[in-house]
Amino acid sequence: MNLQAYIAEQLTERKVLLMTHLIAGFPSLEANWRMLEIMAEVGVDLVELQMPFSEPVADGPAFAMANQEALEGGITLDKYFDLLCRSTEVFAFPHLMMGYYNTAYRLGHGRFCQRLQSNGGCGFILPDLPIEEYRDLFTESAERELTSVMLMTPTNTDERLAKIGAKANGFVYAVARKGVTGSHTDLGDELYEFIARCRQATDLPLGIGFGLRSGDDLRHLHGHAEIAIVGSELLNTWQREGEEGYRALLQDLAAGRS
Q: Examine the residue annotation and report whether 252 is marked as an active-site residue of this protein.
A: no
- What are phi and psi for residue 227, nearest 5 degrees? -135, 135
Q: Examine the residue annotation and report whether 48 is marked as an active-site residue of this protein.
A: yes
Q: Do the Cβ atoms of 52 and 76 come closer than 8 Å?
A: no
Closest to 93 in 3D by CA, of 129, 130, 121: 121
Secondary structure element (H or E) that encloses residue 125, with its range: strand 123-125
Per annotation, catalytic residue among 9, 30, 45, 48: 48
β-pairing, 17-23 vs 46-50, is parallel
Closest to 128 in 3D by CA, of 228, 51, 222: 51
Q: What's the CA gap between 74 and 174, in Å, rounded?
A: 32
Q: What's the CA gap between 36 and 209, in Å, rounded?
A: 19
Q: What's the CA gap between 80 and 83, in Å, rounded?
A: 5
Strand partners of residue 173: 151, 207
Closest to 246 in 3D by CA, of 237, 236, 233, 257: 237
Per annotation, catalytic residue among 59, 217, 226, 233: 59
Write out the catalytic residue numbers: 48, 59
